[in-house]
């Protein structure tokens, strides 16, 4: 499962951050997930909840912030936010747009308890 391997690598970061700050517990994690990342938020949450048992983040809550698709148009220099997969320029209709956001999966915030 895709989500489980993502959670596993997120936990490597969590544990490293907690060590760095001498924290005893992770209480909250906020992840930015692009709507085009192919990640299903519900699956990510359940993967997180099963993975966290027995770790430093055992009682942590996972919050997911959805990142919309953002495109940039090389033809007219315009940019737009797209709620869904419509990859054309809102200004000039060009279909050569470049996707600048919406594919990412980033740890946005980690709350630690010392
Ligand atoms: Zn354009």
% of the chain with per-residue pLDDT over 70: 96
Whether residue 90 is predicted with pLDDT greater than 90 in this model: the reply is no
Collapse the DSSP code of 95 into the 3-class scheme (helix H, G, I; strand E, B; otherwise coil) and give the result: coil
User: What's the number of CA atoms in the CB half-sphere (13 Å) around residue 8?
Assistant: 5
Mean pLDDT for 78-88 is 74
- Distance in Å, CA 69 to ligand 1 centroid: 16
49 vs 96, more confident: 49
Query: Three-class SS of residue 78?
Result: coil
The chain-wide mean pLDDT, for the chain, equals 91
pLDDT band at 2 (very low <50, low <70, confident <90, very high): confident
Quote the ligand 1 centre to 71 CA distance (angstroms). Answer: 10
CATH 3.30.1330.80 assigned to 2-113: no
Q: Is the pLDDT of residue 4 over 70?
A: yes
């Amino acid at each position: 499962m895709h989500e489980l391997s993502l959670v596993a690598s997120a936990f490597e970061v969590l544990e490293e951050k907690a060590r760095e700050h001498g924290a005893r517990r992770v209480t909250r994690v906020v992840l930015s997930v692009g709507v085009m990342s192919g990640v299903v938020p519900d699956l990510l949450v359940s993967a997180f909840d099963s993975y966290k048992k027995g770790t430093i983040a055992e009682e942590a809550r996972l919050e997911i912030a959805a990142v919309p698709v953002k495109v940039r148009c090389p033809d007219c220099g315009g940019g737009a936010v797209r709620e869904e997969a419509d990859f054309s320029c809102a200004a000039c209709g060009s279909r050569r747009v470049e996707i600048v956001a919406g594919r990412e999966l980033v740890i946005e915030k980690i709350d630690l308890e010392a």
